[in-house]
Amino acid sequence: MANDKETILSDDSFLVSETDEKGNIIFVNEEFCKVAEYQESELLGKPHNVVRHKDMPKAAFKDLWETIKSGVLWQGYVKNETKNGGFYWVYTTIYPYKNEKKEQCYMSIRRKPSREDIIKAEALYKNLQ
């Protein structure tokens, strides 16, 4: 049920999620759920790509995963899809870390990107595919 409704984050939006080493969601904050239009129970245990938008090139996620799996922080612009088929842009920072059980995990925090940065990311991503 695709639509083209864009959700624009507020200036103080702070979306947080954590995944295990395979990319399965182990934590989401309330704001992430609100923007993505999911209940927490619908996201926990699911692959994080449940919110991946079809416009995002595979090359962007290949770079993301190669970077964080090597233990390095990754930052970039991501277009995500809402449960109801809309979309939202975020500026994402992903931190690799080991939890108390020494398991590899990834924390992702997202903020509102500027319109100018979204335009640049869209142009770049059109060339990547």
> What mean pLDDT is predicted for residues 25-49?
97
Q: What is the pLDDT of residue 17?
A: 98
Q: Mean pLDDT throughout 9-23?
A: 97
Rounded to two decimals, the pTM is: 0.92
Kindly state the average pLDDT of the residues 27-56. Answer: 96
The mean per-residue pLDDT over the stretch 33-39 comes to: 97
**pLDDT tens for each residue of 86-129:** 999 999 999 999 999 999 999 999 999 999 999 999 999 988 86
φ and ψ of 87, to 5 deg: -150, 165
> What domains, with CATH codes, occur in the chain?
15-128 (3.30.450.20)
Spatial contact of 97 and 105, defined as CB atoms under 8 Å apart: yes
If you compute the radius of gyration of the chain from its CA atoms, what whole number of angstroms results?
A: 14
The CA distance from 81 to 48, in Å, is 11
Q: What is the pLDDT of residues 42-90, one digit of tens each?
A: 999 999 999 999 999 999 999 999 999 999 999 999 999 999 999 999 9
Q: Give the DSSP letter string of 59-118.
A: HHHHHHHHHHHTT--EEEEEEEE-TTS-EEEEEEEEEEEE-TTS-EEEEEEEEPPPHHHH
Q: What is the pLDDT, as a whole number, of residue 3?
A: 67
Q: What pLDDT score was predicted for residue 2?
A: 54
Tokens of 87: 């979309």
Distances 54 to 26, 75, 78, 111 between C-alpha atoms, Å: 23, 20, 11, 21
